[in-house]
Amino acid sequence: MRRLAAPPLAALALCVLTGLAPASAADGGPGLGDPYFPTDGNPGYDVDRYDVRIAYDPARPDHLTGDTTVTARALTDLGRFHLDLTGFDVSSVTVDGRTARSVEREGEHELVITPARELRKGADFSVRVRYSGKPVGEGWHPMADGGVAISGEPHSATTWYPANDHPSDKATFRLTATVPDGWSAVGNGRPGPVTRDGTGRRTFRWYEDRPLTTYASMVAVDRFTVRSSELPDGTPVVNAYSPDALIDPDAEALQEDILGFLASRFGPYPFSSAGAVVLAGPSGTGPVDLETQSRPTYDTGLFDVAMVHELAHQWYGDSVSFTDWRDGCAAECVATYAQWLWYEHQGDDLDRDYYLATVKEHRTDPAFWSVPLYDPGAGRELDSALYARGPLMLHALRRTVGDKALFDILRTWLARHRYGNASWPEFETLAAERSHRDLRGFFTAWAHGTQIPPDRYLFPEGLSRAATG
């Protein structure tokens, strides 16, 4: 392990305190054992809240200063524990206000912390990490005029704050971002007060009061144009546009219509704020669209299909997050089917124009059917199969169990697991429970199979094989 560089006084404190934890103390250890990312996340504790404070100056795009406090509960006695943080020089770490006994680096992103006192099982504790330096890793997207957006899936959080970086550990999130005058910082959740410090800097505050998974956190710094409104129920809507992004009031109105449409299908919007961050990078494009919680990020403009997909993720992926990275279909398959539902809402014939047309196009293409929707494999956690075949599977399920049963399944899933986590196998069990059908053969063929489903599952009642030629 590589011991951290520290300023002289901090280094002295670390040297005095460094030593082995008591033999009886448990090591939280690296990684939660995710099948695809085994070193992501950390066992031994459950995070309740992130309080992330950063300072960023676009004149120094290769530097960020951070001061993050992670509030958590010990799930076992802990002599030491890990946080995930990529890069940066860490100047100090305290646990419950006491300087850590030792702080070490391990692997690419493990920050190994030995507290001055062992943490007892069930105890609430807070760890404060102060850090600065050049950001490295995924998720940093430069904007055209020097701003930056930090977001990305599956990894980006640890490139700007220390975290328990796994979807299974969700927590509330507070962001305090200080930037030069003339610049703005946008994050998740509801906006808080903006203050000036008298030195040419402004501080922006954002509060996400519902638990989020780390990959759904974000911050963007730019010379934003910010446009605010409200949903009919009073939920604030904040749309932020970078200078080269497209501002379209009609698209903003459509965004609110889409939220209303999705609520009619899935149930009430799950968060206390809504909106968008619309970004354009140096080449005129921004980062890929992403379902950052309560305020998705979009490339260049607000377009209906992209909005439907990312806003559907507010229910499927953000409110209910998957248990591990094998479960991507629980988010992506449903969000892509939401696009089909939007087409249907516009008057399109899903059976003819989408389902049967797609089956006909790919019926003799083995590669199209070769990647399973559940557990697609390491490095394929967000494989194109989830987006191409996911809506086919859900539409076939709809035709198998009926409209009423399908939407009952989707709503019950949200109600049962709201603000928590659930796995794709749990979805299969719920579908059978709510439809009162044996769906094992259906899901074996559609979600676990690596070839085109048999005709009895490919063409349930109402879907004609003859139409595919």
Backbone angles phi, psi at 344, to 5 degrees: -65, -40
Q: What span, in angstroms and rounded, lies between the C-alpha atoms of 126 and 83?
A: 12
Predicted confidence band at 385 (pLDDT cuts at 50, 70, 90)?
very high
CB 465 within 8 A of CB 459: yes
Backbone angles phi, psi at 226, to 5 degrees: -110, 125
pLDDT at 7: 39
Judged against a pLDDT cut of 70, whether residue 15 lies above it is answered with: no
Predicted confidence band at 283 (pLDDT cuts at 50, 70, 90)?
low
CB 174 within 8 A of CB 49: yes
Predicted confidence band at 143 (pLDDT cuts at 50, 70, 90)?
confident
DSSP SS3 for 49 = strand
CB 441 within 8 A of CB 455: no
Q: pLDDT tens across 41-57, in order?
A: 999 999 999 999 999 99
Q: Across residues 145-164, what is the average pLDDT?
A: 93
Single out the residue of 52, 74, 3, 291 nearest to residue 163, CA to CA.
Answer: 52
Q: pLDDT tens across 253-263, in order?
A: 999 999 999 99
- Return the half-sphere exposure (C-beta side, CA atoms, 13 A cut-off) of residue 73: 7
pLDDT at 267: 97
User: Which tokens in the block code for residue 141?
Assistant: 């997207």
Judged against a pLDDT cut of 60, whether residue 199 lies above it is answered with: yes
DSSP SS3 for 133 = strand
Can you list the domains of the chain with their CATH numbers? 2-218 (2.60.40.1730), 224-318 (1.10.390.10), 321-468 (1.10.390.10)
Predicted confidence band at 18 (pLDDT cuts at 50, 70, 90)?
very low
**% of the chain with per-residue pLDDT over 70:** 92
The DSSP symbol for 341 reads: H
Predicted confidence band at 26 (pLDDT cuts at 50, 70, 90)?
confident
pLDDT at 427: 99
pLDDT at 28: 77
Q: What span, in angstroms and rounded, lies between the C-alpha atoms of 56 and 86?
A: 17
pLDDT at 25: 54
pLDDT at 145: 80
pLDDT at 284: 56
Q: What span, in angstroms and rounded, lies between the C-alpha atoms of 11 and 168?
A: 35
Q: What span, in angstroms and rounded, lies between the C-alpha atoms of 232 and 234?
A: 5
Query: What average pLDDT does the chain have?
Result: 92
Q: pLDDT tens across 207-217, in order?
A: 999 999 999 99
Q: What is the pTM of this model?
A: 0.91
Chain centroid, CA 118 distance in Å: 32
Judged against a pLDDT cut of 80, whether residue 108 lies above it is answered with: yes
Q: What are the strands of the beta sheet with 81-84, ordered from one edge? A: 2-3, 102-106, 110-114, 81-84
Q: pLDDT tens across 327-375, in order?
A: 999 999 999 999 999 999 999 999 999 999 999 999 999 999 999 999 9
Predicted confidence band at 469 (pLDDT cuts at 50, 70, 90)?
low
Predicted confidence band at 467 (pLDDT cuts at 50, 70, 90)?
low
Q: What are the strands of the beta sheet with 225-230, ordered from one edge? A: 225-230, 236-241, 274-279, 297-299
Q: What span, in angstroms and rounded, lies between the C-alpha atoms of 103 and 195?
A: 34
